[in-house]
Structure 1
Amino acid sequence: MRRTPKDSADSARRITRRGMILGGAQLGFATLLGMRMRYMQIDQGEEFRLLAEENRVNLRLIPPARGQIFDRKGVVIAANEPAYRITVVREDAGDLDDTIARLATLVELDPAEIERAVAEMQRSAPFLPVTVADRVSWDAVSRVAANAPALPGVNPEVGLSRHYPHGEIYAHVVGYVQPVSERDLARYEDPDPVLRIPRFQFGKIGVETKYEDMLRGRAGSKRVEVNAAGRVMRELDRREGEAGADLQLTVNTGLQDYIHARIGEDSASVVVMDLVDGDLLAAVSAPGFDPNKFVRGISYNDYGTLQGDERHPLVSKTVQGFYPPGSTFKMVTALAALEANIIGPGETVWCPGHLKVGSRRFHCWKRAGHGHMNLENSLMQSCDVYYYELALRVGIDRIAEMGRRLGLGMAHDVPMSAVGEGIMPDKAWKRERWGQEWRIGDTVNSSIGQGDVLTSPLQLAVMAARIATGRAIEPRLVKSIDGVEEPSRAGADLGLNENHLRMIRNAMFQVSNNRRGTAYRSRIIAEDMRMAGKTGTSQVRNITAAERARGVIRNEDLPWNRRDHGLFVNFAPYENPRIAVSVVVEHGGGGSSAAAPIARDVTLQALYDGDPPLEAYPTADRGRIEELQKELRERRDAPAAGGTSRA
């Protein structure tokens, strides 16, 4: 059927209208697409170019070199050494088991470490290197490099690792580093990204942890080009990091080493302080441990052995060990009484061997008593009854205040781990700690450094230093940081009566130089080096009335851990004090027999900065001292663990 002209015209109009609508829609879409393209290419072009660049280029951190630690003479005591390791890239290794088997013929591999490494490879991307042998020798690295064609995917690498060349003698002072743990990261609100680098070493104890932020340095960075799979194709540029700050400590390695050798097998602690700036010339806790074992990853058996040792080698006794100070505390009681004008130097107290307070008897160490005692003789012969009487007159609060003034009962600011306060008790302390009122018997016990009084060897050295100088001297362990000297800690005047201090110093001189003094056998003969000191013996067990009646058991007849601690504090030379020393020998028996001889030898070693002449010792001791010096020299010069000299 033929269409009419009208129908054809209507159809043409409809097609034209639809075409216009469709064309308009296409034009609108093209316009929107063009606008979007313009927006993406022009308005947001820079942003998309950066995103593309970030997908192609990765920024990676370069671990910084850790700052080194030196002693006061520039001897390195914490160094960085090359640490070689062997890594394997799984995708390049082909038959992984076969490759590891061939590697094992060249390098000694730990089966447990290989098992760990294979498990890590399964979790990681195939192109990432995984360590299969750490801290291998240069010879092992050379063998691997020489056989590289037969070891696909195996790569020898080198980095820096911490090393402590003097082993145990600085373990408690410097501490050690270990790989960063999640617990370490939790210490920071916003951890430094470098801490997340695998096996990055982080200070755990001692100076290493207290100065971690300074020693760590700042990481460098490198830009590497990677493909779509994340594999490194090439390095584009590198910015080296900033090495950590170098620290110079105040300690003297020769003296520190000598003290370790002199202590021998004893469980003991020795602190030596310089009296000019408060420098710690030595801070020894024995026995020690090898910090290098912790850096490498100490074995379960080795750690268990250290933990199970009854001499507690992991404890830094200089600042963490707290002991009743015994008779070394008598200077505190005496100064408190003198400053309160309660007693004069000539006033005497009668000592019959005990003092009865209420229904209880407090005994003197000399069962028959000392008779009439004045201040000088009471310190020289260490009469207990004299100080019982003083304490009853002066009261515990004044004694405690004097103790704190002399540096006891406070945590001194030294960068070592777990520095404690000890206990300098008074009435308020007992009420707060135990909810009890102070009793008169508590005062009597405290007067001779027993009861609740607890002090560290560091605090005792500070006490001796303050008595010697009359200043509020504080211990200083870090001498300089990157060559910039740290402030002196000489301290201001204590405000104590100089005449009273002179009386105490003179009485301490008599302890070491009068024939009736408790430390006379450990005196120094050299006129310009003579020392002033005080012995102390602190009980670790109660002596019952029944035991006193039948005779107190001698220390040597008791198990080691029930024997008394031996203590000694001193300063020297008496006329012009330069150093102060404290010695605590755990369960060593009496202070005069166990601690004073060590203190005398250490004092002379410090004053002469090396082995002193035999003429400095009493004539009767010279043969023994000569043999001892020879033995100690041989011991100090003998190679330590790891093949390095201890000298």
Structure 2
Amino acid sequence: MTVTTLLLPVVLAASACTGPDGPTAQDAADDLAAGLASGDLGGVVLVTDTGADPQTHLTEVTEPLRAAAERAGRAPTVAVSQVTVDEDAEPRTAEVSLAWSWPLTAQDAWEYSTTTSLEQVEPPDGSDAGPSWEVRWEPELVAPDLRAGERLDVDTVAPDRGDVLDVHDEPLVTERDVWRIGIDKTFGTADTWDAQARRLAMVVGLDLDDYAARVEAAGDKAFVEAITIRQKNPGVNFTAEDARSLDGVNVVADTLELAPTSTFAREVLGRSGPATAEIIEASDGAVATGDVVGLSGLQAAYDEALRGAPGLVVQRVPSEQDADAGEEPTELFRVEPVDGADIATSFDPELQERAEKVLADVEPASAIVAIRPSTGDVLAAASGPGSEGWSTATLGQYAPGSTFKVVDALALLRSGTTPQDTVQCPETLTVDGRTYENVPGYPSSATGKVPLATAFAHSCNTAFIGAMADVDPQDVASAAADLGLVPGPDTGVASFGGDVPTDLDGKTARAEAAIGQGTVLASPLGMATVAASVAAGERVEPRLVREVVGGAPDAAAAPSASPSGSPSASAEAEAEDTTPQGTPAGLTAKEAATLLDLMSGVVSEGSASALADVPGVVGAKTGTAQYGDGSRQHVWMLAVADDLAVAVFVEDGEYGSTTAGPLMGRFLAGS
């Protein structure tokens, strides 16, 4: 017996032209490989012992694989790896080995080999054509050990979503146990559903009519969720057992990605949940129905890193008859998922919860930001309930009032003025027809000719307006930048620091800027950064995200998108273009020490004397900024205590000393 073996490179070859003896076995094998790769067997002569149509079988079996390859942006290949012809057989036969490659992800392909046989067929009598080759079709030609009635399936293997960590690298946002509570319509009948829904709505605090309508509209076997509560510290006035005792109610155990409490830094951390249709459409196939994604805040900005990279598994699914007999699917190929990265933040749970507790009863928008000067870590960034979901702490833009005098003081020091130099502090000062006054109750003993340190301690508006009149606005902006007060601090999340304009038109504009009003803007984060820079002796770069830990190698380690409500990309780019760069030398340790001495005087003899008995406090500054028609005030207080710099802000209050001051005292005292 003569056997001819043709070894070919593993590439997809085109069919060769046929000669007078007809196509070769190689030609037939090439046509088969091309048809299998394209999914079109129209040019291949096939014979089969099964009742299934080969084209239909190929299409149905490989459809999940082709869909995965399309998502991966790559095409499958089938190559002829070997053709062995039996020259002595009557008729001649050949064995063909095929090398398959299904690219199922951008990096991973399922590769395997199958074999089939060819048989040479003589032309009909009287035909001038040469002999041809027929391909024997069997299910295992498509995939190893595939049997009639079986199919292939491609399933996604979900990764574990990454956690959001606190400053101690302990989980902040992580999978926590919850109860899903709702009406299970299989527990009742059509004539009981309405009453059951209304009783549950009354217990959990929903609108009775709305929830009853939702239950009515759902299918007869639906579970209609009313509320989801935490299993630990649910924060509601009923228990899961209370709900479970009601007729028609089902209480289902589940898990959700949650922060320690429902309010914990939610304006910054945001939330996660099932992907919306809009997110799925915009993801270009990366997100599917049912996936958990970040919906707002940090969790949305870092969603690509948090969600990781899904894996997949290819299975051979038994026929319906075999499945009924108990046969399980067989795994043929697997790509392991890459779990999501952890996002290490700077939040200190104790300080964040303390700040939220202090602000819990403050009705106007409010914020407390606490920074560790030695590292720049933002340990707390709390926005009160009056902020209504907006991150006043990190995105608020308000006139900083007299807290801005810390910046003024640095500019004055650089102009040659010392804390001991005398400045004029009249009771009133008129600039271009507008009269400026000091805060009501300003001590008369601190008026007239006083040292700059005294004017700073008692926050003399008229003294700073007069002293700053000859200071170049660019020097003020540079001083602000050296203290870290810039429009877009690189905190790791969308943030606003401050805006100190240099194009001040007229003496009135300069006067207002000198007392932190007019067009000067700052956030609580920005002013806390100013205090932190003073405490650190150098410019502090605040950070809310410390690092991205682990995750898929190609996942974005930086925010992928601004969370809802944050500055637009164009606005951020504009802010970067106009950000003051500060002076070449930056804030020096000597300058910072002088500023801290000035802030110390505010505590020992000035407007923050209420903090004198708070342990660890070494400096402070109060601020009040009129807004609107001038009858209402934004109120501020800055303080430095040990390795902590804090800003307290209330959108609508009396004075910095009387409204913000007590809140600062409670926060620093830990009450």
Q: 8 Å contact 1:180–1:196 — kept in the other structure?
A: yes
AA aligned to 1:456 is S
Distance between the aligned counterparts of 1:209 and 1:327, measured in 2?
36
| 1:352 corresponds to | 426
Q: 8 Å contact 2:397–2:523 — kept in the other structure?
A: yes
Stretches of structure 1 that go unaligned for 5 or more consecutive residues are 1-23, 88-95, 122-129, 145-154, 288-310, 431-437, 544-561, 606-628, 630-647
1:458 aligns with 2:525: yes
Judged with a 3 Å threshold, the aligned counterparts in structure 2 of structure 1 residues 493 and 186 are, in CA distance, closer, same or farther, namely farther
Distance between the aligned counterparts of 1:168 and 1:564, measured in 2?
27
1:364-401 deviation line (CA, Å, top 9, x unaligned): 33587811122201110101111111221112221122
1:272-306 deviation line (CA, Å, top 9, x unaligned): 1112211111111111xxxxxxxxxxxxxxxxxxx
Distance between the aligned counterparts of 1:157 and 1:232, measured in 2?
30
1:26-76 deviation line (CA, Å, top 9, x unaligned): 3477978x73624x869x995698999998111011332222233234554
AA aligned to 2:599 is M
Judged with a 3 Å threshold, the aligned counterparts in structure 2 of structure 1 residues 402 and 36 are, in CA distance, closer, same or farther, namely farther
Q: Tell me which of 373, 376, 387 is aligned to 1:278.
A: 376
Q: 8 Å contact 2:425–2:455 — kept in the other structure?
A: no
Judged with a 3 Å threshold, the aligned counterparts in structure 2 of structure 1 residues 422 and 508 are, in CA distance, closer, same or farther, namely closer
Q: Tell me which of 632, 636, 642 is aligned to 1:563.
A: 632
| 1:644 corresponds to | none
Q: 8 Å contact 1:395–1:443 — kept in the other structure?
A: no
Q: 8 Å contact 1:84–1:134 — kept in the other structure?
A: no
Q: Tell me which of 607, 626, 647 is aligned to 1:539.
A: 626
| 1:398 corresponds to | 475
Q: Tell me which of 434, 437, 441 is aligned to 1:363.
A: 437
Distance between the aligned counterparts of 2:215 and 2:466, measured in 1?
71
Provide the TM-score with structure 2 as the length reference: 0.62
1:381 aligns with 2:466: no
| 1:552 corresponds to | none
Q: Tell me which of 490, 495, 520 is aligned to 1:419.
A: 495
Distance between the aligned counterparts of 2:145 and 2:500, measured in 1?
65
Judged with a 3 Å threshold, the aligned counterparts in structure 2 of structure 1 residues 140 and 49 are, in CA distance, closer, same or farther, namely farther
Post-superposition offset of 1:499: 3.6
| 1:592 corresponds to | 657
Structure with bigger strand share is 2
Distance between the aligned counterparts of 2:454 and 2:500, measured in 1?
26
- What SS does structure 1 have at the residue aligned with 2:173? strand
What is the alpha-carbon root mean square deviation over aligned residues? 4.6
Q: 8 Å contact 1:224–1:232 — kept in the other structure?
A: no
- What SS does structure 1 have at the residue aligned with 2:264? helix
| 1:611 corresponds to | none
- What SS does structure 2 have at the residue aligned with 1:468? helix
Judged with a 3 Å threshold, the aligned counterparts in structure 2 of structure 1 residues 349 and 98 are, in CA distance, closer, same or farther, namely closer
Q: Tell me which of 204, 216, 225 is aligned to 2:307.
A: 216
1:69 aligns with 2:69: no
Q: Tell me which of 633, 640, 648 is aligned to 1:583.
A: 648
Post-superposition offset of 1:453: 0.7
Query: Which residues in structure 2 correspond to 1:313-332 (within 5 Å)?
Result: 313-332=388-407
Judged with a 3 Å threshold, the aligned counterparts in structure 2 of structure 1 residues 497 and 523 are, in CA distance, closer, same or farther, namely same
Comparing 206-215 and 271-280, the one that deviates more = 206-215
AA aligned to 2:463 is Y
Distance between the aligned counterparts of 1:348 and 1:52, measured in 2?
98
AA aligned to 2:506 is R
| 1:513 corresponds to | 604
1:243-263 deviation line (CA, Å, top 9, x unaligned): 322334322212221222222
Post-superposition offset of 1:362: 2.9
Distance between the aligned counterparts of 2:170 and 2:301, measured in 1?
21
Judged with a 3 Å threshold, the aligned counterparts in structure 2 of structure 1 residues 350 and 421 are, in CA distance, closer, same or farther, namely closer
AA aligned to 2:520 is V
Distance between the aligned counterparts of 1:75 and 1:511, measured in 2?
38
Distance between the aligned counterparts of 1:140 and 1:507, measured in 2?
56
1:178 aligns with 2:283: no
Query: Which residues in structure 2 correspond to 1:487-502 (within 5 Å)?
Result: 495-502=586-593
Q: 8 Å contact 1:206–1:415 — kept in the other structure?
A: no
- What SS does structure 1 have at the residue aligned with 2:419? coil
- What SS does structure 2 have at the residue aligned with 1:442? helix
Q: 8 Å contact 1:113–1:133 — kept in the other structure?
A: no
Judged with a 3 Å threshold, the aligned counterparts in structure 2 of structure 1 residues 175 and 569 are, in CA distance, closer, same or farther, namely same
AA aligned to 2:627 is V
Judged with a 3 Å threshold, the aligned counterparts in structure 2 of structure 1 residues 49 and 472 are, in CA distance, closer, same or farther, namely same
AA aligned to 1:542 is D
- What SS does structure 2 have at the residue aligned with 1:350? strand
AA aligned to 1:564 is Q
Judged with a 3 Å threshold, the aligned counterparts in structure 2 of structure 1 residues 540 and 162 are, in CA distance, closer, same or farther, namely same
Identity across the alignment (%): 26
State how many pairs are aligned: 486
| 2:330 corresponds to | 236
Distance between the aligned counterparts of 1:171 and 1:47, measured in 2?
52
1:110-152 deviation line (CA, Å, top 9, x unaligned): 6655666649x9xxxxxxxx976698899999xx9xxxxxxxx
- What SS does structure 2 have at the residue aligned with 1:414? coil
AA aligned to 2:276 is S
Q: Tell me which of 530, 536, 552 is aligned to 2:617.
A: 530
| 2:289 corresponds to | 197
| 2:345 corresponds to | 249
AA aligned to 2:644 is I
Distance between the aligned counterparts of 1:98 and 1:284, measured in 2?
44
Distance between the aligned counterparts of 1:409 and 1:55, measured in 2?
64
Comparing 66-75 and 109-118, the one that deviates more = 109-118
Post-superposition offset of 1:597: 2.4
AA aligned to 2:430 is K
Judged with a 3 Å threshold, the aligned counterparts in structure 2 of structure 1 residues 84 and 62 are, in CA distance, closer, same or farther, namely farther
Q: 8 Å contact 1:462–1:473 — kept in the other structure?
A: yes
Q: 8 Å contact 2:491–2:544 — kept in the other structure?
A: yes
Stretches of structure 2 that go unaligned for 5 or more consecutive residues are 1-121, 201-210, 232-238, 245-249, 552-556, 559-581
1:473 aligns with 2:567: no
AA aligned to 1:312 is S
| 1:35 corresponds to | 132
Post-superposition offset of 1:412: 1.5
Q: 8 Å contact 2:146–2:316 — kept in the other structure?
A: no
| 1:547 corresponds to | none
